[in-house]
Amino acid sequence: MAGPDGEPGLPQAYLLGFDTKGLGHAIIANGSPDTADNTAVYVPRTESQLAKAAGDDPVPYIGRPFLGGHKWGVQYYDGVPYSAGYIQTIPSDEAFGAHRMHVNTSGHSGYWDEGSVSLENQGAVVVGKYGDVKEDN
């Protein structure tokens, strides 16, 4: 299942685009967007230059757009506007991360509280499994 040049178990990376402005940006796909059942966009924590650039430039997106279906979210992710017209399913920490899984009795509970529920919920939304999203009590 490894990509031709990849590590075992990890998808091949695809370079979809790059530029050298500011700190430099690259658009990387993990796995082929053309053959994927689902795609998701991730913008790592933005440096100020990138956030500024996003105000003027089109926001990059990767792979096939989510058209129709569930609208689930906010229009900003880490300060970058995502209502770019194509992507309607927007996972966000704000929307999903507020509720912590109830494992307060766990001695290792700290292992689970740093965004793990948020990550998992984002995954559930990306693949359309809305019934598995953990919600606030």
Partner 1 sequence: MNLLRQSFPRRRLALCAAASVVALVMTGCSKDVTKKDVNDAGQTAEPTTLAVDQARTKANHLSSQILDMIGIKDGKVTEGGAGVSLCDDDPDHLYRMRHPWSIYEVAPDKLEAGFQRLREILPKNGWKVVAYGRDTSANKNLELTADSEKDPFSVNASLRITGASGNQQPMLQIRVVSGCFRAPKGTDLGKEY
**E strand or H helix that includes residue 15:** strand 13-19
The set of residues, in sequence order, having a beta carbon less than 8 Å from that of 83 and lying 6+ positions away, is 75
User: Is position 98 an interface residue for partner 1 (rule: CB under 8 A)?
Assistant: no
**What track of x and - describes contact with partner 1 for positions 2 through 31 (by CB under 8 A)?**
-----xxxx---------------------
User: Is position 56 an interface residue for partner 1 (rule: CB under 8 A)?
Assistant: no
User: Is position 116 an interface residue for partner 1 (rule: CB under 8 A)?
Assistant: yes
Cα–Cα distance for residue pair 120/113, rounded to 1 Å: 12
Closest CB 89 distance from partner 1, rounded Å: 15
Q: How far is CA 24 from CA 1, 53, 57, 75, in A?
A: 31, 11, 14, 24
User: Is position 106 an interface residue for partner 1 (rule: CB under 8 A)?
Assistant: yes
Segment near partner 1 (CB under 8 A), from 16-24, 35-43, 54-62, 113-121? 113-121
